[in-house]
Amino acid sequence: MGFTVKEIAAALGAKAVGDVDLSVTHAAEPADASPTALALAMNPDYGDTLINGSAQVAVLWDGADWQALGLKAAIIVARPRYAMSSLTKLMDQGPDIEPGIHSTAVIDPTAEIGKNATIGAFVVIGHLVKIGDNARIASHVSIAKGSSLGSDILLHAGVRIGPFVSIGDRFIAQANATIGGDGFSFVTPEKSSVEKVRENLGDQGDINQQSWTRIYSLGNVEIGDDVEVGSNSTLDRGTIRATRIGRGTKIDNLVQVGHNVQIGEDCLLCGLVGVAGSARIGNRVILGGQVGVSDNIFVGDDVVAGGATKIFSNAPAGRVLLGSPAMKMESQIEIQKALRRLPRLMRQFSELQKSVSKNGEKD
Amino acid sequence: MGFTVKEIAAALGAKAVGDVDLSVTHAAEPADASPTALALAMNPDYGDTLINGSAQVAVLWDGADWQALGLKAAIIVARPRYAMSSLTKLMDQGPDIEPGIHSTAVIDPTAEIGKNATIGAFVVIGHLVKIGDNARIASHVSIAKGSSLGSDILLHAGVRIGPFVSIGDRFIAQANATIGGDGFSFVTPEKSSVEKVRENLGDQGDINQQSWTRIYSLGNVEIGDDVEVGSNSTLDRGTIRATRIGRGTKIDNLVQVGHNVQIGEDCLLCGLVGVAGSARIGNRVILGGQVGVSDNIFVGDDVVAGGATKIFSNAPAGRVLLGSPAMKMESQIEIQKALRRLPRLMRQFSELQKSVSKNGEKD
Amino acid sequence: MGFTVKEIAAALGAKAVGDVDLSVTHAAEPADASPTALALAMNPDYGDTLINGSAQVAVLWDGADWQALGLKAAIIVARPRYAMSSLTKLMDQGPDIEPGIHSTAVIDPTAEIGKNATIGAFVVIGHLVKIGDNARIASHVSIAKGSSLGSDILLHAGVRIGPFVSIGDRFIAQANATIGGDGFSFVTPEKSSVEKVRENLGDQGDINQQSWTRIYSLGNVEIGDDVEVGSNSTLDRGTIRATRIGRGTKIDNLVQVGHNVQIGEDCLLCGLVGVAGSARIGNRVILGGQVGVSDNIFVGDDVVAGGATKIFSNAPAGRVLLGSPAMKMESQIEIQKALRRLPRLMRQFSELQKSVSKNGEKD
């Protein structure tokens, strides 16, 4: 199986040059590229590697001289990073799910499953579940009662969908992701230490010995179209209203989204991000790895938070954040620089104190 | 199906007023409440929403005038947050597990399972496992040999219980949680770089090229009554003694509890918390999201640690902590304020230096 | 079943003294040790506990006087921590997997599985998968098409292995770990806010309303011999080249390893560590709990990063790191000390300013 240069260029909406009927079997980094590979050399740094390597076909940066690079054919792209999306989509072999519905799958007779579904071994689909056309559901997935999923969804092995979850089209969940777990919501008969600390800025007052009582989650999870959720990530149900994830938002691995959280459209949440209960996040927000968002706060549209930023209070739209506690990236960088000089400042200050006190005495 | 106002008030131990025989089908936020919903309007801020909305029945704050709000009936509660526990418990529909034991479940003949169990599809229960009455075990759960669980437990789909784990009554584990994995414990033939860094405060001395040898986990996990563990959280076995979680402690999603860790009663561990091996945590300790606790340290009773606090050393009982490294919340807040002024201080200090040096020259 | 003192000493390569034919059933901490237990008393602090306890057999520190401690037999070890590896290996009962291949396992006829495999219930093994001898695969595991695993592997319940993953000998994966999920890689048609923030140090310029397009993962995951991966950890596939984990590296629970990441040999990654896409990590690197490594950076051989360190830029070989952003541990500790004195410095500075200004006036 292979792809001709002409085919690939068409998929990329890009220009093909040289022997466009040549065929490649796979993509490779320039250093690893055999004559049957498509070398991905999307900036001039790869030039020497191509000249010295075995590649005969490559994707090249705009302005590259493919013949000088010793190639037989090439595809020239304007925005290489964007070209990667069409290219990898073309070459992707898809998940490992056999066509049809596996004989071991346990599907409730009231469930409605669209046309052309592929469902793996040991899948469990509950009462009144609805799934659109072209679903691909890998082994060991469970979908609880009353949930509804759109068309062209892809659930990898071991994904858990809780009851009454609502999900749009083209949803992808990586393996062992959990959607629709109960919210983490507990209450004590009298005010708890957390409530008191929040009211009194750090003073928890007298300590009551109380146990926690559960607040059940009656809300569900609502997920728009074109959302992805990474491996082993967890999205909790809302308490009364739904936890919501807007259209086009992508969530990486090991991300925690708490109960009642509202996330807008086209956001990116990187690995190990935690969004605490009832936080609201706007559109096109980007949270780097290990970012934390406190409960009940608001993060405006187009906020970008660097890795490990901890957002404790509302963030206005468009703000670029860094650090813990989060602040404007430029302020954080200025403080970080100052911090590195702080020990020296301390010493210089002592000297200055002495010097001033001496000057004072001299007067 | 529905609930009369009278019924709900009884469940909440609260006062019902108006037409107490009216029936509602579900709870809703005031803005979303239809005439058949129970609007949850637990503080005066919701007053206008009720007046302008369609709600006819509401749970109201103490002192509310239900008639002026345009309602036909109401339930008045003293501590709204606490009322949520009874209310949501009453209305919870429970997990999606069919009554009885599914034909596909693989249950070892030596396992003892109490009365009235509901066990889902593709569950695996091992040799000599004991489970109390009224167990609810969702699909794809596995419980390894020799484990013992109390009555009224609820295990969501894909939960893993390792061998010889001991768990009390009313335990709840959310989907894909893993209890009883092996501890992360490795050793090198000679002192490792970590051991040397700890002894020498940051200096790892000469570097040995050594490989890690595994220390197996012979201990197990012991969990008290009324404990909950969130989705995809992980609790490791002890090396020799057991890892222990005390009665009433609640653990959120994606929390890591290392080998030998001892956690007291009635604690809350929020999402993405990590407790490293052999740490000991007292009773009623609250760890906010993404908090870290170093190995082998002690966190006293009633400690409250704000989100993203990193606890590197022993914390005395009752302390309210914040920051990385953790310190008293009030000290941390004072330092955070000072930090924001640090770049300015640096500039002012330079000026003062110049000014003093000029003064000195003038003398 | 039990172990004689003689047997245990042989396994530990250690000296046995006293009645070496005495038998013990299990290991225990000195305080919990019954007469049939092997008390682990590896330093002199345990002396009194032994004298006052019921232990009759113990593992003792070098130089201990076993008779004075009231024992009938003892094993003397030079490096106690290292002795734990042989001792726990000897006494480990292994995972809960019945011998043979469970009748419910779904194994593709093209899969090649070595001799002496034990495979649990509801396991799914895909097309052309290859597994070496003596594999132990617990219930609910799935291994996708084209993957290849070495001999003596142990996969705990619910582990997910994606397609075309390559894994060496003696691999251990704890329950619900996910290996080979798709990388988190998305691109916008025009430059995204992240790209602009990176170029302009925090300024995202004009905001485009763009949606994210997926870059598919064509690369796979390659794992060397003697690697372990903890419960619910996630290792993503590469985009074009493979994500690689070197021989002897151990990964704890809830760790995220992004696409294209290269990790060397004999590393330790503790719980909740996140390594972002395309980062490269050398040999014998140790990352404490909740450490973060930014994308595309390089962490040199023998780097040791303390808990919660956030590494944003390249780290030279041998460096001991702490803090966020990461810096040399000694610099970080110096800054932490200075920080605690910063509020006082601020006050002292104000006083000094006044005093200088007064001195100035006096001139």
Mean pLDDT, to the nearest integer, of C60-77?
94
Mean pLDDT, to the nearest integer, of C176-193?
94
Contact C93 B348 (CB under 8 A): no
- pLDDT at position A357: 80
Q: What percent of chain C has pLDDT over 70?
A: 98
Weakest mean pLDDT among B292-306, C310-324, C348-362: C348-362
Give B183→chain A minimum CA distance, Å.
Answer: 20
- pLDDT at position A115: 97
Neighbours of chain B (3+ CB pairs under 8 A): A, C
Amino acid, res. A303: V
Say which of B26, B158, B356 has its CB closest to residue A355: B356
Query: Tens of pLDDT along A43-80?
Result: 899 999 999 999 999 999 999 999 999 999 999 998 88
Q: Which residues lie closer than 8 Å to C253 by C-beta, 6 or more apart?
A: B178, B181, B184, B234, B236, B256, C174, C230, C231, C232, C233, C271, C272
> C357 pLDDT exceeds 90?
no
Quick one: closest CA in A to C145, which residue? A96
**In chain A, what are the domains?**
3-91 (3.40.1390.10)
> A285 pLDDT exceeds 60?
yes
CB-neighbour burial class of residue A13 (10 A; exposed 0-12, middle 13-18, buried 19+): exposed
Query: Tens of pLDDT along C187-221?
Result: 998 888 888 888 877 778 777 788 999 999 999 99
With beta carbons less than 8 A apart as the criterion, state whether C186 and A268 touch.
yes
Q: Which residues lie closer than 8 Å to A354 by C-beta, 6 or more apart?
A: none
Quick one: closest CA in C to B326, which residue? C336
Mean pLDDT, to the nearest integer, of A82-109?
92
CA distance A312 to C227: 38
Cα dihedral angle (B119, B125, B130, B131), rounded to 10 degrees? Answer: -20
HSE (CB half, 13 Å, CA atoms) of A140? 39
> A339 pLDDT exceeds 90?
yes
Confidence class for position C126, pLDDT limits 50, 70, 90: very high
Query: Tens of pLDDT along B59-103?
Result: 999 999 999 999 999 999 988 888 999 999 999 988 878 889 999
Largest CA distance in chain A: 98
Cα dihedral angle (A272, A277, A280, A283), rounded to 10 degrees? Answer: 30
Chain A CB contacts of B12 below 8 Å: none
Closest-CA residue to C120 (of C93, C94, C155): C155
Edge-to-edge strands, sheet with A243-245: A112-113, A130-131, A148-149, A166-167, A221-223, A243-245, A262-263, A280-281, A298-299
The neighbouring-strand residues paired with A293 are A275, A311
Q: Which residues lie closer than 8 Å to C2 by C-beta, 6 or more apart?
A: C23, C24, C25, C36
Edge-to-edge strands, sheet with C148-149: C112-113, C130-131, C148-149, C166-167, C221-223, C243-245, C262-263, C280-281, C298-299
* Mean of the per-residue pLDDT values of chain A: 94
> A363 pLDDT exceeds 70?
no
Contact B27 A218 (CB under 8 A): yes
Contact C230 B234 (CB under 8 A): yes
Q: Which residues lie closer than 8 Å to A351 by C-beta, 6 or more apart?
A: none
Contact C307 B327 (CB under 8 A): no
> C363 pLDDT exceeds 90?
no
Chain A CB contacts of B289 below 8 Å: 256, 274, 276, 292, 294
Quick one: closest CA in A to B347, which residue? A338
- pLDDT at position A127: 96
CA distance A132 to B15: 46
Parallel/antiparallel/unpaired status of strands B262-263 and B327-328? unpaired
Place of tokens 């898809």: A94
Give C134→chain B minimum CA distance, Å.
Answer: 19
Parallel/antiparallel/unpaired status of strands C221-223 and C243-245? parallel
Mean pLDDT, to the nearest integer, of B5-17?
95
> B164 pLDDT exceeds 70?
yes
- pLDDT at position B145: 96
Contact C294 A272 (CB under 8 A): no
Confidence class for position C1, pLDDT limits 50, 70, 90: low
Give C7→chain A minimum CA distance, Å.
Answer: 43
Chain B CB contacts of C26 below 8 Å: 218
The neighbouring-strand residues paired with C214 are C186
> In this structure, what token pair is assigned to residue B246?
């005390």
Mean pLDDT, to the nearest integer, of B253-257?
98
Chain B CB contacts of A331 below 8 Å: 340
Which of B156, B176, B212, B311 best probes binding to C when mutated, by most C CB atoms within 10 angstroms?
Answer: B212
Contact C201 A329 (CB under 8 A): yes
Q: Determine the distance from the C-alpha atom of residue B138 to the mean position of all C-alpha atoms in its chain, rounded to a whole number.
A: 21
- pLDDT at position B193: 84
Chain C CB contacts of B310 below 8 Å: 290, 307-308
With beta carbons less than 8 A apart as the criterion, state whether B174 and A216 touch.
no
> In this structure, what token pair is assigned to residue C236?
């993503």
Largest CA distance in chain C: 98
Contact C254 A253 (CB under 8 A): no
Contact C345 A349 (CB under 8 A): yes
Give B210→chain A minimum CA distance, Å.
Answer: 30
Per DSSP, the three-state class of B286 is strand
Cα dihedral angle (B123, B127, B130, B136), rounded to 10 degrees? Answer: 0
Cα dist from A204 to A238, A294, B316, whole Å = 28, 19, 14
* Mean of the per-residue pLDDT values of chain C: 94
Closest-CA residue to C162 (of C222, C105, C116, C109): C222
With beta carbons less than 8 A apart as the criterion, state whether A41 and A60 touch.
yes
Mean pLDDT, to the nearest integer, of B202-215?
85
- pLDDT at position C362: 59
CA distance B60 to C327: 54
Q: Determine the distance from the C-alpha atom of residue A51 to the mean position of all C-alpha atoms in its chain, rounded to a whole number.
A: 37
Quick one: closest CA in C to A227, which residue? C212
Chain C CB contacts of B258 below 8 Å: 271
B140 catalytic? Reply is: no
Give C82→chain B minimum CA distance, Å.
Answer: 6
Length of chain B equals 363
Residues B339, B340, B344, CA angle at the centre, nearest 5°?
100
Mean pLDDT, to the nearest integer, of A339-344?
94
φ and ψ of A36, to 5 deg: -95, 5
The neighbouring-strand residues paired with B322 are B327
Q: How many residue contacts between A and B have a Cβ separation below 8 Å? A: 234
Q: What percent of chain B has pLDDT over 90?
A: 87
Cβ atoms within 10 Å, residue C62: 13
Confidence class for position B1, pLDDT limits 50, 70, 90: low
Closest-CA residue to C151 (of C185, C188, C116, C178): C116
Closest-CA residue to C228 (of C282, C267, C198): C267
> A276 pLDDT exceeds 70?
yes
Query: Tens of pLDDT along C79-115?
Result: 888 899 999 999 998 887 888 999 999 999 999 999 9
Contact A289 C272 (CB under 8 A): no
> C157 pLDDT exceeds 60?
yes
> In this structure, what token pair is assigned to residue C171?
């691999």
Mean pLDDT, to the nearest integer, of A221-248?
98
Contact C214 A343 (CB under 8 A): no
Weakest mean pLDDT among A81-85, A153-157, B228-232, C129-133: A81-85
Give C212→chain A minimum CA distance, Å.
Answer: 7
